[in-house]
């Protein structure tokens, strides 16, 4: 066969992507060895389960449901107790007609138009989260690209550029240009001679000239060449008067503002690199897909009250929330995926090391806001299609929708992803006050905000009753003192969830933890 007629790997992946979509292309990437980046090489092999062996799983989040799915498939008898009236845990989506009740009883009713939504919890899937993508493929969860880095998004600092937002492409080019000039000056002043050879010095200077778009004098100045990367004042046109007008570069002091380089370094983080995905129609499509597999095993509205164990098994007492009736479930083993912020308040018959570990891990209190507008002005007026804008204000970040580009009618953007002090400030407000703050701060980027605003919803995670936080926050000291105790089998109880992983705050961590927990249970059962 003539090899010249065979498609290259790149061509093959492109064809698969066009025909089967992003998830199919990712699967092909994995098969070709391009995407194996996490500790997942397939589901656990739990063959030879002893007849009648049973497990009770606490929590119908992803960790609990993947544990139940693989255990039942292996022949275990499984029951899941879930406090809420839905599956998925933090993997959920708010749509029009939904409501959200805070821990103090405040109720927000979501008024989004049909088809619009906000993901209050997880909202993007890194390309290397192989375990999560495996189950999404297996259960038929349709995926679409999540635009992570958009060079047309904004960076705003109240201390730089006169307080005016700047396009990411402009400040990134200016940062690169100014630092390239400084390094070139140092090299030409022989300040680097002790570190590099003469040959490497020449290579470095040539790299800096091209990388930083420096002129003949190795200076970073405004030019057509620089504007081809950072953007023009007047872009190239056709015919008479088609010549572009270069833009003016920013001052070195402005691009050295921490807000600039922290926004750029955000994308260098291992889990924040492109490419990313999102489920079509909302993140809760993943939880729903798992529930289609294990839904018959789930008892909803079940508030766990007590976990008792002895050498033969575990007994879980729970209250049926609607009726108040207390029931009990007994099993040989228990996989507990309830967040530490909640389960540490439950009476559990576990050893002192696990009990201490459960109380040792604090939870972060992020806040998200979904804002619905009459039209997609960020696309129509500002040419922003997906991606993020960053600010040093309390809202911290805007994120633009990645679906239904160019469509008309109302659309929702993420109007705040607040953390730390910003989240604390916004959480202390009423829902109406939060919306007002988001509008006032968002106007820095988009003056159209108030004119186009329809409605919004805010989710302060420290006020979400079933978790009282957003994600676990291990410190190095805490991990050294408590992590091994937290994930160890304690008699017949084992914990799982993002808090029981080194992938805290990610669905991948939850799934990997759940699979690890049941693997160890199976090994212990087989050895008994």
Rounded to whole angstroms, the Cα distance separating 136 from 125 reads 11
The sign of the CA dihedral 115, 102, 501, 54 is negative
Q: Compute the distance between CA of residue 415 and CA of residue 410 in angstroms, rounded to an integer.
A: 15
Structure tokens at 333: 């083993």
Domains and CATH numbers, the chain: 54-88+284-361+471-527 (3.50.50.60), 94-130+138-149+364-463 (3.90.660.10), 168-250 (1.20.1440.240)
What is the structure's pLDDT at 37? 66
| The pair of three-digit structure tokens given for residue 501, joined into one six-digit string | 């992983």
The DSSP output letter for 249 is: P
Task: Tokens for 326, please give them.
Answer: 């207390």
Q: Which helix (H) or strand (E) holds 9?
A: helix 9-20
Distance set, CA 522 to CA 71, 335, 407 (Å): 9, 12, 50
Cα distances (angstroms) measured from residue 309 to each of 47, 351, 419, 469, 487: 26, 11, 39, 28, 17
Residue that is written with structure tokens 């705040």 in the block: 416
Model confidence pLDDT, tens digit, residues 453-505? 999 999 999 999 999 999 999 999 999 999 999 999 999 999 999 999 999 99
Contact 181, 220 (CB under 8 A): yes
Cα distances from 92 to residues 122, 285, 288, in angstroms, run 8, 8, 9
Provide DSSP, 218-235.
Answer: S-----HHHHHHH--SB-
The pTM of the full predicted model, rounded to 2 decimals, is 0.90
Are the C-beta atoms of residues 495 and 462 closer than 8 Å to each other? no
- Does residue 110 contact residue 95 with C-beta atoms inside 8 Å? yes
Query: Pick from 13, 62, 63, 3: which is nearest to 33 by CA?
Result: 13
Query: What tokens does 453 get?
Result: 């605003």
Instruction: State in Å, rounded, how far the first CA of the chain is from the last one.
Output: 57
Parts of the chain with a pLDDT under 70: 1-37
Reference 342, options 376, 296, 307, 373; nearest CA is 307
What pLDDT, on a 0 to 100 scale, did the predictor assign at position 270?
A: 86
pLDDT at 40: 86
| Alpha-carbon gap, residue 324 to 319, rounded angstroms | 6
Compute the CA torsion angle 424, 428, 433, 434 (nearest 10 deg). Answer: 30
**Packing angle between helix 168-188 and helix 198-211, nearest 10 degrees?**
160
According to DSSP H, which parts of 267-307 are helical? 284-294
At residue 520, the 3 state secondary structure works out as helix
Q: Which of 109, 113, 130 is nearest to 36 (CA)?
A: 130
Distance in angstroms (rounded) separating the CA atoms of residues 145 and 496? 29
The pLDDT value recorded for residue 11 is 52
Asked if 250 contacts 170 with a C-beta cutoff of 8 angstroms, the reply is yes
* Distances from the Cα of 393 to the Cα of 61, 258, 371, 444, 469, angstroms: 33, 13, 17, 10, 21
CA nearest 486: which of 501, 504, 476? Answer: 501
């Amino acid at each position: 066969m003539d090899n010249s007629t065979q498609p290259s790997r790149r061509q093959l992946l492109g064809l698969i992507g066009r025909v089967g979509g992003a998830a199919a292309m990712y699967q092909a990437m994995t098969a070709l060895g391009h995407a194996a980046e996490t500790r997942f090489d397939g589901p656990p092999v739990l063959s030879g389960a002893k007849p009648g062996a049973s497990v009770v799983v606490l929590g119908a989040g992803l960790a609990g449901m993947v544990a139940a799915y693989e255990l039942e498939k292996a022949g275990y008898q499984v029951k899941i107790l879930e406090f809420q009236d839905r599956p998925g845990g933090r993997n959920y989506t708010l749509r029009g007609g939904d409501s959200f009740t805070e821990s103090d009883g405040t109720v927000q009713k979501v008024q989004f138009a049909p088809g619009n939504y906000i993901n209050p919890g997880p909202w993007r899937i890194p390309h290397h989260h192989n375990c999560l993508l495996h189950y999404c493929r297996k259960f038929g969860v349709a995926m679409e690209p999540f635009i992570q880095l958009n060079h047309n998004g904004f960076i705003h600092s109240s201390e730089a550029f006169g307080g005016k937002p700047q396009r990411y492409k402009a400040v990134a080019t200016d940062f690169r240009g100014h630092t390239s000039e400084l390094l070139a000056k140092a090299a030409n002043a022989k300040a680097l001679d002790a570190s590099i050879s003469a040959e490497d010095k020449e290579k470095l200077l040539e790299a800096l000239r091209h990388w930083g778009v420096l002129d003949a004098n190795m200076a970073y100045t405004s030019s057509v060449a620089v504007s081809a990367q950072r953007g023009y004042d007047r872009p190239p046109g056709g015919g008479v008067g088609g010549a572009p007008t270069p833009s003016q570069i920013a001052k070195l002091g402005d691009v050295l503002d921490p807000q600039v380089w922290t926004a750029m370094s955000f994308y260098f983080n291992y889990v924040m690199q492109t490419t990313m995905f999102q489920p079509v129609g909302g993140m809760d499509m993943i939880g729903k897909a798992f529930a289609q597999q294990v839904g018959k095993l789930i008892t909803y509205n079940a508030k766990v009250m007590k976990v008792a164990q002895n050498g033969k098994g575990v007994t879980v007492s729970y209250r049926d929330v609607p009726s108040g009736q207390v029931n009990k479930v007994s099993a040989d083993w228990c996989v507990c995926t309830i967040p530490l912020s909640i389960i540490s308040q439950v009476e559990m018959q576990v050893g002192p090391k696990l009990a201490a570990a459960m109380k040792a891990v604090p939870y972060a209190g992020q806040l998200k806001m979904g804002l619905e507008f009459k039209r997609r002005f960020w696309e129509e007026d500002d040419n922003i299609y997906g991606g993020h804008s960053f600010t040093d204000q309390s809202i911290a970040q805007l994120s633009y929708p990645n679906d239904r580009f160019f469509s008309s009618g109302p659309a929702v953007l993420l109007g705040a992803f607040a953390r730390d002090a910003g989240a604390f400030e916004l959480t202390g407000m009423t829902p109406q006050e939060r919306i007002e703050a988001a509008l006032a701060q968002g106007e820095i980027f988009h003056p159209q905000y108030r004119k186009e605003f329809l409605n919004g919803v805010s989710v302060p995670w420290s006020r979400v009753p079933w978790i009282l936080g957003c994600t676990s926050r291990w410190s190095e000291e805490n991990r050294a003192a408590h992590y091994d105790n937290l994930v160890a089998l304690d008699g017949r109880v084992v914990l799982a969830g993002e808090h029981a992983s080194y992938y805290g705050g990610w669905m991948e961590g939850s799934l990997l933890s759940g699979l690890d927990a049941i693997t160890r249970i199976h090994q212990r059962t087989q050895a008994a």
